[in-house]
């Protein structure tokens, strides 16, 4: 397997970022958060970036085909020649189909979609337990990594706050949106035999080991 072209899927709080960081280190792959790619294209003033900016300035959603082209433009670079880890895209079945077509035109293919699964109650517990210090953004968790004094940052003594995004009602809404958007994606990649599922409730190191073993098996199958 000459390339590792990977897509990360999973609910907020599942640990996608942690696992993506480890894959980047393991295989020396670039990590692409798609919001960053779109903003960079707009900032750099590329032809696709200018076209995307026109939609954004009007308050419109960037069309699936255009945002896919912006992302594939980044994937078609020497930096991503050996593969990539893509997070935050695709978000819909239409985007997945468009990405498939664009990647195929480059003579490449996706290796796997890695789905890290965590049940909703665990996601709410993980995210609603997060606290951040008002002064410098140091992170804590009321269960896993509590401060020495409740509500006070160990580093600078500032008050710890719960971000609006981490309030239980907000997390539950984010999960509703995730399930609505992602279920068709799960089916899309499952139908193509590309979906690989991982239990995100396990320890991060165990999830990482499972992902590495799965990728090793995929490489072995291709060589046979």
Asked if 130 is an active-site residue, the reply is yes
The catalytic residue among 91, 167, 172, 202 is: 91
| 90 upstream amide cis, omega within 30 of 0 | yes
Cβ contact 85:24 at 8 Å: yes
Cross-strand pairs, 115: 9, 197
Backbone angles phi, psi at 139, to 5 degrees: -100, 145
91 counts as catalytic? yes
Q: Please state at what angle helix 93-105 crosses helix 64-75, rounded to 10 degrees.
A: 40
Q: Is 163 a catalytic residue?
A: yes
Q: Which of 22, 69, 126, 130 is an active site residue?
A: 130
CA nearest to 5, candidates 88, 113, 97, 132: 113
C-alpha radius of gyration, the chain, whole number: 19
Alpha-carbon span 75 to 83, nearest angstrom = 8
> Pairing between strand 4-9 and 130-133?
unpaired
Q: Which of 43, 50, 105, 163 is catalytic?
A: 163
Catalytically active residues are: 16, 91, 130, 163, 174
């Amino acid at each position: 397997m000459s390339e590792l072209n990977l897509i990360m899927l999973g609910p907020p709080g599942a640990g996608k970022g942690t696992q993506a960081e480890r894959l980047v280190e393991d295989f020396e792959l670039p990590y692409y958060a798609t919001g960053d790619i779109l903003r960079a294209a707009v900032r750099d003033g590329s032809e696709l970036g200018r076209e995307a900016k026109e939609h954004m300035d009007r308050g419109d959603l960037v069309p699936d085909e255009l945002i896919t082209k912006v992302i594939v433009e980044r994937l078609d670079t020497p930096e991503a020649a050996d593969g990539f880890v893509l997070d935050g895209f695709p978000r819909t079945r239409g985007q997945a189909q468009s990405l498939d077509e664009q990647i195929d035109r480059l003579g490449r293919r996706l290796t796997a979609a890695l789905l890290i699964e965590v049940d909703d109650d665990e996601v709410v517990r993980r995210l609603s337990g997060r606290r951040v210090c008002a002064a410098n953004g140091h992170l804590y968790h009321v269960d896993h990594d509590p401060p020495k004094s409740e509500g006070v940052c160990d580093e600078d003594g500032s008050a710890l706050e719960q971000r609006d995004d981490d309030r239980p009602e907000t997390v539950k809404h984010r999960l509703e949106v995730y399930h609505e958007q992602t279920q068709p994606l799960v089916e899309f990649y499952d139908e193509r035999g590309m979906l690989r599922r991982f239990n995100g409730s396990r320890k991060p190191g165990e999830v990482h080991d499972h992902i590495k073993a799965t990728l090793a098996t995929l490489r072995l199958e291709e060589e046979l």
